[in-house]
Chains A and B, each alone.
Chain A
Amino acid sequence: GAGVSQSPSNKVTEKGKDVELRCDPISGHTALYWYRQSLGQGLEFLIYFQGNSAPDKSGLPSDRFSAERTGGSVSTLTIQRTQQEDSAVYLCASSLGAGAWATEAFFGQGTRLTVV
């Protein structure tokens, strides 16, 4: 697609429910990143995909968080048993490759998750 697309734009969920956040990167971008932006905070790295593989999951805050990427394209971030502290904007970005020599990360508009 023309840009990075994320859905839903906004999600309100009850504490304890599972949620799935979707990211559709720019066509041809092999690297995909998930970041979390909490109120008043910067962007916190969650996970990185190169193709369908996730070499680094170190940013995932707990085992309630998981992510997958299929076909080297769409990625889904799943949060199980949501907690109020999971409330944040979840941003997805993609780039041509992991190396930074000729690329920058293009971001989606994010999903604002509110856990009530």
Chain B
Amino acid sequence: AQTVTQSQPEMSVQEAETVTLSCTYDTSESDYYLFWYKQPPSRQMILVIRQEAYKQQNATENRFSVNFQKAAKSFSLKISDSQLGDAAMYFCAYGPPSGTYKYIFGTGTRLKVLA
């Protein structure tokens, strides 16, 4: 069965600094998707970034980038130039390959941004 592990329950970063959130996963599949979702206090889960497992190039979205290490089954999120609005819970998620459907989520990392 697939699992997703986020070992950092809470992280803090100074405004304008860079922070990296860790995520490891386990699967026997070769093709899949990985996601980082942000959940602010409004509870709305917002997609931050998506990585396709068959792509070697790491995904980037403005200040957000990932370090995808397929062999190590590691998928970390780097937030550059942190802003106060980045404060939220961040969830790493494994997206199923075609034909299945069950998204698997980690337990989340609470990110605090210090002014």
Contacts and interface: CB of A to CB of B under 8 A. Distances in A.
B91 A101 contact: no
Contacts of A41: 107
Interface in A24-68: 31, 33, 35, 40-43, 45, 48, 50, 55-56
B30 interface: no
B64 interface: no
Determine chain B's interface SS by DSSP, over half rule: loop
B47 interface: yes
B45 A93 contact: yes
A33 B102 CA distance: 9
- Most chain B CB within 10 A, of A42, A98, A104, is at A42
Interface in A76-114: 89, 91, 93, 98-101, 104-110, 112
Interface in B59-110: 91, 93, 95-108
For the side of the interface on A, what is the size category? 20 to 34
Contacts of A48: 101-102
Contacts of A101: 98
A43 B91 contact: yes
B101 A109 contact: no
A104 B35 contact: yes
Interface in B31-47: 32-33, 35, 37, 42-47
Given A109-B42, A109-B43, A99 B102 contact: no
